[in-house]
Amino acid sequence: MPPETLAALIAAIPMPVIVIGRDARIAATNTPAGALFGTPLEGRHHISALRQPALLDAIEAGLERGEAAEAEYLATVARRETTYRARVAPLAAEGLEGVLVSFEDVTPMQEAVQMRRDFIANVSHELRTPLTALMGFIETLQGSARDDPDARARFLEIMEHEAGRMNRLVRDLLSLSRVESEARMRPTAPVDLAQVVESVVRMMRPAAEAAEVTLRFEQAGGVGTTIPGDADQLEQVVSNLVENAIKYGGQGGEVRVQLEPMPRDPVLRGPALRLIVEDEGEGIDPIHIPRLTERFYRVDNHRSRALGGTGLGLAIAKHIVNRHRGRMRIESEKGAGTRISLHFPASA
Check which CATH number belongs to the domain holding 93 and give it: 3.30.450.20
d(CA 343, CA 265): 8
Judge if 37 and 10 occupy the same domain. Answer: yes
- Residue 138 binned pLDDT confidence (cut-offs 50, 70, 90): confident
Report angle CA 155, 158, 159 to the nearest 5 degrees: 85
Residue at which a domain ends, from 142, 158, 181:
181
Buried b / exposed e over 262-283, threshold 16 CB at 10 Å, is eeebeebeebbbbbbbbbbbbb
Judge if 210 and 326 occupy the same domain. Answer: yes
- pLDDT at position 4, please? 67
Q: What is the DSSP string of 56-104?
A: HHHHHHHHHH---EEEEEEEEETTEEEEEEEEEEEEEETTEEEEEEEEE
Judge if 67 and 207 occupy the same domain. Answer: no
Judge if 38 and 147 occupy the same domain. Answer: no
Judge if 320 and 255 occupy the same domain. Answer: yes
d(CA 188, CA 326): 13
- pLDDT at position 189, please? 92
Check which CATH number belongs to the domain holding 280 and give it: 3.30.565.10
Judge if 28 and 119 occupy the same domain. Answer: no
Judge if 193 and 80 occupy the same domain. Answer: no
Of the candidate ranges 37-46, 78-87, 244-253, the one whose mean pLDDT is the lowest: 244-253
Report angle CA 149, 153, 155 to the nearest 5 degrees: 115
Q: At what angle do helices 107-142 and 149-181 cross, to 10 degrees?
A: 160
- For 292-319, what is each residue's pLDDT tens digit? 888 878 776 555 555 556 778 898 999 9
Residue at which a domain ends, from 159, 181, 203:
181
Tally the domains of the chain. Answer: 3
Judge if 89 and 174 occupy the same domain. Answer: no
Q: What is the mean pLDDT of the chain?
A: 86
Give the mean model confidence (pLDDT) for residues 265-275.
Answer: 88
Domain boundaries, position 86? 3-105
Judge if 210 and 136 occupy the same domain. Answer: no
CA torsion sign for 11, 61, 81, 296 is positive
Judge if 174 and 192 occupy the same domain. Answer: no
Of the candidate ranges 14-28, 61-75, 162-176, the one whose mean pLDDT is the lowest: 162-176
